[in-house]
């Protein structure tokens, strides 16, 4: 009898998990991969969209291209999750699973930051990035803020990248001297586990005249007065606000009863939840790693190995090591990289590689390799 695996969410975690299990089990696998969207978009592509470096069509990878043994993709919206019965109800069908993996990512709660919907913009969704592309084309003078509303948030380097790339964008249009850029974020440094990365980013901000406000978050916007109000009550005037909204689990996950303190608790060694046969991977889980694609991908490999070991009755696989790499856009075509290790030592630490054209090429190659792996046969 084939093993029924239902994977909710086709991001980094879901795609990698489906790929590894297909390679290992093949025709013995009955895996249903469910996502409400019709295509996958790399997170960094949203910056490309926002600044006009790519079109929406160019960055979308249709899920219809997935053709792997034992895997079927269904574009459906998950309506209910029963983790005890391992049963999932969508807008079209009901699925029962031997193994259920929740990888639905994080949603955005714009309403949690008063004034953000009425007086600001967000660039973490594809739709938000597309909207900002049009807004930015009309911004030629004034005060811009890149502001984080809450933590944790996906891809911690992304708002730093947005500030640096905004500088490049305005400079290329010849209006940078008419614009101020401020960056507000809740961490004491841009990348706390890597002092070298943080120093490089802070230096880049200073070189470009970007005002950096560490250890603060944007608690609200006052659209009428055009000010951002920080969590200490101070105010920063703005004409353009580019926000990172509060993150939360999808409503269907919250309604399932799986969460504690807002996220799904998992074992740090194998990503198992407290429900037998149920795992949680990526942004939706409370694992002690950043909410970023590379870490979801690594977690998915551990889950796949655990599933395979259970099927074969073999020894459990090595524990999840919490390692991953993040590429960081520094502008001017240069990309840096930080290799993070969150679990092997007494505290998280990262190794920084200086920005270079070579790393920009490596980033592009990394994306192409994943595209071929996940969407090829």
pLDDT of residue 376: 81
Give a yes or no: residue 121 inside a domain: yes
Q: Residue 16: CB partners within 8 Å, gap ≥ 6?
A: 296, 297, 300, 301, 304, 374
Question: Is residue 10 located within the same domain as residue 40?
Answer: yes
Within a domain: 363: no
- Is there a single domain that holds both residue 243 and residue 120? yes
Mean pLDDT of 232-242: 98
In this predicted model, what pLDDT tens digit does every residue of 273-290 receive, in sequence order? 999 999 999 999 998 899
pLDDT at residue 54 tops 90: yes
Q: Look at residues 192, 219, 247 and tell me which one is the last residue of a structural domain.
A: 247
Is residue 344 in a domain?
no
Judge contact between 294 and 154, C-beta under 8 A: no
Q: Mind listing the pLDDT tens digit for each residue in 97-146? A: 999 999 999 999 999 999 999 999 999 999 999 999 999 999 999 999 99
The percent of residues above 70 in pLDDT, for the chain, comes to 100
Is there a single domain that holds both residue 215 and residue 255?
no
**What does the block give as tokens for 48?**
């490309």
234 and 167 in a common domain: yes
DSSP 111: G
pLDDT at 377: 60
Q: Are 296 and 27 in contact (CB under 8 A)?
A: no
pLDDT of residue 57: 95
Which residues make beta-bridge pairs with 351? Answer: 339
Domain boundary among 304, 320, 336: 320
- Which one-letter DSSP state was computed for residue 141? S
φ and ψ at 362, to 5 degrees? Answer: -60, -40
Q: What is the DSSP string of 6-23?
A: EEE--SHHHHHHHHHHHH
Task: Kindly state whether residue 306 falls inside one of the protein's structural domains.
Answer: yes
Bridge partners, residue 75, by sequence? 35
CATH number of residue 242's parent domain: 3.50.50.60
* Residues 246, 6: Cα–Cα separation, whole Å: 28
Burial of 292 (0-12, 13-18, 19+ CB in 10 A): buried
Mean pLDDT of 351-368: 97
> In the sheet where 142-148 sits, what is the strand order?
121-122, 240-244, 142-148, 179-184, 210-213
Residue-wise pLDDT tens digits, 66-103 = 999 999 999 999 999 999 999 999 999 999 999 999 99
155-187 confidence digits (pLDDT tens)? 999 999 999 999 999 999 999 999 999 999 999
Do 221 and 298 belong together in one domain? no
Residue range 8-24, pLDDT digits in tens? 999 999 999 999 999 99
Q: What is the mean pLDDT of residues 2-6?
A: 95
Based on the domain organization, do 170 and 281 belong to the same domain? no
What is the domain range of residue 168?
111-247
Cα separation of 186 and 147, whole Å? Answer: 9
Segment 231-251 shows an average pLDDT of 98
Query: Is 337 within a domain?
Result: no
Say if residue 84 is in the same domain as residue 188: no
Q: Same domain for 232 and 253?
A: no
Asked whether residue 37 falls in the same domain as residue 116, the answer is: no
Structurally, the chain folds into a number of domains equal to 2
| 278-280, strands of its sheet edge to edge | 71-75, 29-35, 3-8, 99-102, 278-280
> Other C-beta atoms within 10 Å of 75: how many?
17
| Cα–Cα dist 10/18, whole Å | 9
State the Cα–Cα distance between residues 354 and 190, nearest whole angstrom: 15
Complete DSSP assignment for 29-46: EEEEEEESSSEE--TTHH
Domain-embedded: residue 41: yes
* Contact predicate 34/78, CB 8 Å: yes
pLDDT for position 263 = 97
H/E element, 269: none
Q: Provide the edge-to-edge strand list for the sheet that holds 87-90.
A: 78-82, 87-90, 94-96
Which of 216, 247, 278 represents a domain boundary (last residue)? 247
Same structural domain, 122 and 235: yes
- The reply to whether 286 falls in a domain is yes
- Peptide bond preceding 335: is omega within 30 degrees of 0, i.e. cis? no
Tell me if residue 350 falls in helix, strand or coil: strand
What average pLDDT does range 143-154 have in this prediction?
97
Report the chain's mean pLDDT, rounded to a whole number.
Answer: 96
Domain annotation covers residue 374: no
**In terms of domains, do 185 and 296 share one?**
no
Q: What would the DSSP string read from start to end of 174-202?
A: T-GGGEEEEEE-SSSSSSTT-HHHHHHHH
């Amino acid at each position: 009898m084939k093993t029924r695996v239902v994977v909710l969410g086709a991001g980094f975690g879901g795609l990698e998990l489906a790929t590894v299990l297909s390679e290992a089990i093949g025709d013995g696998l009955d895996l249903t991969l469910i996502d409400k969207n019709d295509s996958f978009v790399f997170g960094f592509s949203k910056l490309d969209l926002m600044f006009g470096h790519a079109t929406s069509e160019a960055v979308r990878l249709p899920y219809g291209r997935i053709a792997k043994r034992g895997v079927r993709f269904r574009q459906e919206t998950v309506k209910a999750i029963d983790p005890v019965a391992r049963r999932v109800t969508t807008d079209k069908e009901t699925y029962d699973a031997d193994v259920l993996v929740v990888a639905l990512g994080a949603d955005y709660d714009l309403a949690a930051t008063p004034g953000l919907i009425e007086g600001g913009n967000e660039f973490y969704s594809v739709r938000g990035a597309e909207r900002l592309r049009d807004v930015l084309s009309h911004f030629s003078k004034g005060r811009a803020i890149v502001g984080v509303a809450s933590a944790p948030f996906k891809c911690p380097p992304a708002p730093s990248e947005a500030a640096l790339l905004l500088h490049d964008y305005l400079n290329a249009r010849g209006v940078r001297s008419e614009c101020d850029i401020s960056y507000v974020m809740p961490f004491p440094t841009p990348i706390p586990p890597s002092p070298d990365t943080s120093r490089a980013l802070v230096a880049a901000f200073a070189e470009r005249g970007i005002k950096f406000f560490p250890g603060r978050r944007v608690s609200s916007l006052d659209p009428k007065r055009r000010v951002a109000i920080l969590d200490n009550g101070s105010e920063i005037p703005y004409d353009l606000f580019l926000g990172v909204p509060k993150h939360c689990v999808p409503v269907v996950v919250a309604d399932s009863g799986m969460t504690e303190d807002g996220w799904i608790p998992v074992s740090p060694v194998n990503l198992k939840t407290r429900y037998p046969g149920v795992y949680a991977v990526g942004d939706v889980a409370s694992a002690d790693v950043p909410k970023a694609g590379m870490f979801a991908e690594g977690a998915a490999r551990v889950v796949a190995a655990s599933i395979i070991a259970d099927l074969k009755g073999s020894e459990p696989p090595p524990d999840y090591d919490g390692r991953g790499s993040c590429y960081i856009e520094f502008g001017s075509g240069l990309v840096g990289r930080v290799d993070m290790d969150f679990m092997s030592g007494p505290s998280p630490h990262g190794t920084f590689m200086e920005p270079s054209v070579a790393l920009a090429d490596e980033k592009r190659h990394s994306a192409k390799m994943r595209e071929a792996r996940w969407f090829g046969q």
